[in-house]
Every structure is written in C-alpha cells, then in structure tokens.
Structure 1
Amino acid sequence: MCGRLTLTHPTEALAALFSATPGNDLPQVPNYNLCPTQDVPVVTSDAGRRLRAMRWGLVPSWYKTPTDGPLIINARSDTVAEKPAFREAIRQRRCILLASGFYEWSAGEGRERLPWHITRADGAPLALGALWTPSGDMATVAVVTLGAGPNLIPIHDREPLVLDPADWPLWLGEAGHGAARLMQVTAPGVLVSHRVDKAVNSNRASGPELIEPI
C-alpha cells in the first residue's frame, strides 16, 4: 500500500523530465509529508503531455461528493480491470503520479508501526503508475499497487507500480495497447529504504527531518 508521499524535486525539473507542459496550480515543493486528499503532480497525455495537479483519492462517478464513500487512494493491479471504480479509467485514463519518495510502515512490537522512507536508488523521481477520473471541476487519482517484490517484502506486503522511463509512453497510451504487461513488481536494487523517526506517523508532521535516517 502507498499511503504517504514526499515531493522534493523542483516542478521545473519534473516538467522537463517528461517533456510536459506544466500547469499553474501544481503542489508546492518541498513537501515531506504529502497525504491523501491533497493535490499531487500527475502527468497525462492527450495531444501532448501535461503536468497537472490532481486530488489524491479517486472519486467514482456515482459519488455525489468526495466523501460519499471510502477514500480510494490505491487500486490493486489484480482487480483494477474488474472493479467498477477503476475499469474504465485503467483503459482510458492512465497517468503517472510523480513523487520523490513514499513512506511505508513495518510491524514493530505489539501494535507499534515503524516508518520507512523509500526512494529510487539513483535519486530520480518516482514515476508511479496511476489512473484518474474527472469529478466535477476537479480530477482525482489513485496509485496502482501490486504484491511487494524483493525491495519491499521485508517491510510490507504491497508496493506501488514504479515505471521505468522506457515504459512511460505505453502506460500513458502513446505507444498503443499492452499496458497491462507493465504491472510487475520493481526489479531488485531499484528502490532503497531507510528507517525514519516515528514523528511521521502523524499526518500533521512536516519538515526535512522526517526523511532523515535513524
């Protein structure tokens, strides 16, 4: 599961990396504790790539308001083509959610939750496979997740779909059909992780100290 993000790469760098036209309402950088319901930077492709802001937490078409049902921040790869909330979006509205890292929690003693910060080993931004849907005057997004691979299985049993640059055109629908084959766990060594302070367990925490190793 992917439930909290960090965003420290400059907006201009993200736009250049994807050759995308940036919007005027992109999330403020840096953010060391980006939470569901906040805006996240997303790349879409429709007559050109756009870097735009979307609310993290997909709102299905039958919701009358964003709070009419459970908060949907992730979409499981094994059921994404079948679930009514996702099946149209996974075919027609795939996108890439950009982050610098994400937090995950492992089990400690008793009910203790131990936070970890996960990034790419090469320091590049994370390109997370996602899907989106329009909802009134806003767009909302959910991250596709899979069973954890060798990078994260010691920490948690789920991981987000991390796309390599060569896969971006296919996921965005620019390179034809067959995006389903991209829904595979991240190769060993691509991601690195380190323990961080439990201060990040609060969604109100902020500041660069949240990602400092302990």
Structure 2
Amino acid sequence: MCGRFIDPNLRGTEIEHSEIGIDPFARRFNIKPTQDVLIRPAEEGQFAWARWWFIPVWHKGEMQEWKATTFNARIEEADAKPTFRAAWKYGRCLIPAGGYYEWTGTKGQKTPHFIQSAANEETLWFAGLLSIWNDMRTCTILTRAANSDVEDVHHRMPVILNADERDAWLAGKQDKDLGAGASLRHHIVKSFGIQDDSPELIEEV
C-alpha cells in the first residue's frame, strides 16, 4: 500500500513549476490521504491538483458519505471493480513523488522507512486513476506486489513507472505487471506524527 509520500523535487527538472502551469508551492514531506496532490491526467496533458481519496463519478451522496477506503487501488483488480473500472478506461493519470513511507513492526512499536528511487531519475511516477466527482478531481494510487527491493518492508508497493511504462499506462495499456522493475532503496527514519512536516522526516537514522 501507500499511505504517505512526499512531493517531488521540481527545482531544476523538466517539470519545473513554470513548465507545468502550477503556482510554486512549498514541498511537503508528509502527504496524507484527503490532501491535494499533483497529478498529470492523460486526457488533459497538463498538470493539475486532485484530492487523494478517490470518489467515483456515480456517487450521489455527500463527500463524507463515501466510506470506502480508496486512496489506493490494487492494479490486479481495478479494471473489474465497480468503483474504479470507468477510471481504468477513461481516467488514467500519473502522480509524481519524491519517495514514500512504509512501516515495519507491531502496533505501537512500528518503525518508519523512507523509500526512494535507486535509479538516475529522482522522481517516482506512480500510476494513478482520476475521477472528477461534482467538479472535483479525486485520485487513487495503484499498488502491486512488492518487488525484491522493498518486500522486506511491505508486501505491497505503488505501481512505479519508468519512462516507457508511463507512456503505455496513459495510452491505456492493460499490462498488470507494470512497475515490477522499479529500482528502489530504503532506510529507517525517526518516528513522526501526523502533523509533522519537514525535510528531517526523510533523514536516515
């Protein structure tokens, strides 16, 4: 799964703020579900903001009445799930990140790990699904079985796409093995609270 991640470092990259049409924003190091996250929708081609907690277009109630936990979706079954299958066809997106967190250990004694790229490209590109509900963009991060780089931390991982896979995903490719070859590394970080947010959160201990 992926329940916390950090903003990508946009400075000096091909997705500098001025290039993506997004006002400059302070980089966040503890992004939580229901917060707005940066996405690149397939249809629009331009970067945008979306609420990280997917609500399908057919939901008729209020936002708080959507009770399902939909900040993640399993790539193995998203195409068949009523909640996600329309977005699988028509709402694909990319969600850039500088890394994400997972925890090991038992409840009350969990150890956080920061997971980041071990390849030349610093930014991780998560495969996502986008739903525009009541004129609000909402999204989810797709997950898959963990590869050997991170399986010692958690049995699931985000679907992290290389350059070729990003194009294929946005074009509608049905391959559910996407992201298997992501090159990642991780280290232990200090425990932190829900409201903590600073670069120190990702420092190795």
What TM-score results when the alignment is normalised by the length of structure 2?
A: 0.89
SS at match of 1:181: coil
Alignment map for 1:96-107 (pairs within 5 Å):
96-107=94-105
| Equivalent residue for 1:44, pick from 41, 46, 59 | 41
Within 2, Cα distance between the matches of 1:14 and 1:42? Answer: 15
SS at match of 1:116: strand
Q: Higher strand proportion, which one?
A: 1
Alignment map for 1:190-205 (pairs within 5 Å):
190-199=183-192, 202-205=193-196
Within 1, Cα distance between the matches of 2:110 and 2:14? Answer: 32
Within 2, Cα distance between the matches of 1:66 and 1:183? Answer: 33
Alignment map for 1:4-19 (pairs within 5 Å):
4-10=4-10, 13=13, 15=15
Task: Quickly say closer, same or farther: Cα 1:53–1:9, change in 2 above 3 A.
Answer: same
Counterpart AA for 1:10: L
Partner of 1:67: 64
Task: Quickly say closer, same or farther: Cα 1:206–1:130, change in 2 above 3 A.
Answer: same
Q: 5+ unaligned residues in a row in structure 1: which ranges?
A: none
Counterpart AA for 1:186: A
Counterpart AA for 1:42: I
Counterpart AA for 2:6: T
1:180 aligns with 2:174: yes
Partner of 1:56: 52
Partner of 1:212: 203
Q: 5+ unaligned residues in a row in structure 2: which ranges?
A: none
Partner of 1:3: 3
Preserved contact between residue 115 and residue 185 of structure 2 (Cα < 8 Å)? yes
Task: Quickly say closer, same or farther: Cα 1:207–1:21, change in 2 above 3 A.
Answer: closer
Alignment map for 1:116-131 (pairs within 5 Å):
116-121=113-118, 122-131=120-129
Preserved contact between residue 81 and residue 90 of structure 1 (Cα < 8 Å)? yes
**Cα shift at 1:64:** 1.8
Preserved contact between residue 7 and residue 29 of structure 1 (Cα < 8 Å)? no
Preserved contact between residue 161 and residue 178 of structure 2 (Cα < 8 Å)? no
**Cα shift at 1:10:** 2.1
Within 1, Cα distance between the matches of 2:55 and 2:12? Answer: 28
What per-residue deviation string (whole Å, max 9, x for no partner) do you get for residues 37-72 of structure 1? Answer: 1111101133x6211110100012225222211231
What per-residue deviation string (whole Å, max 9, x for no partner) do you get for residues 65-101 of structure 1? Answer: 2221123100011210111110110111110011101
Following TM superposition, the consecutive aligned residue runs of length 4 or more in structure 1 with deviations greater than 3 angstroms are 11-14, 182-186
1:29 aligns with 2:23: no
SS at match of 1:169: helix
Partner of 2:139: 141
Percent identity between matched residues is: 26
